[in-house]
Amino acid sequence: MSVPGSNLLRLALSVLGKSSVNYFQYAGVAQGPTGLDTATYDPAITIITGTVQPVNTARYQEFGLDFSKRYIVWFVPNLNAVDLSRNPDISGDVIEFKGRRFQLMNNTDWFQIDGWMSPMAVDIGPATGALINA
């Protein structure tokens, strides 16, 4: 039986393997070329210490998710790499995984107990073009 503090993520990674993602932390807002405010992000940091798993569509209704979109959960042990204590009026961080970009939506924080967190993210499109860097 697993108990808090036994680091379940380390155990899971030994079975699932690690997933490399590029992580872009939200930096603020700048005026874009059209004169509209645009979210800006810090340059990418490659994080290889977690795993990315799809959200089963059978759970979409339970989580109140849109069936026309695709969602993942990113299990990651590094608290400093994920800052999701955001005001709802600003943009969340972005990760790139297997040629797609995902906007981080919310987080289950197990960091204080087991040293990891699991933000859910929504697919926002192909990882093409540059994110606006701060």
What residue ranges do the domains of the chain occupy?
Answer: 8-126
- Count the alpha carbons within 13 Å of 88 in the hemisphere toward its beta carbon: 0
pLDDT tens digits, 40-58: 899 999 998 888 989 999 9
Judged against a pLDDT cut of 80, whether residue 81 lies above it is answered with no
pLDDT at residue 8, as a whole number: 59
pLDDT tens digits, 5-41: 555 556 566 566 678 899 998 888 888 788 888 888 9
Instruction: Please list, in sequence order, all residues whose beta carbon lies within 8 angstroms of the beta carbon of residue 32, skipping any fewer than 6 positions away.
Output: 38, 132
With vertex at residue 29, the alpha carbon angle to CA 25 and CA 30, rounded to the nearest 5 degrees, is 125
pLDDT tens digits, 92-109: 889 999 999 998 887 665
Fold of 8-126: Thrombin, subunit H (2.40.10)
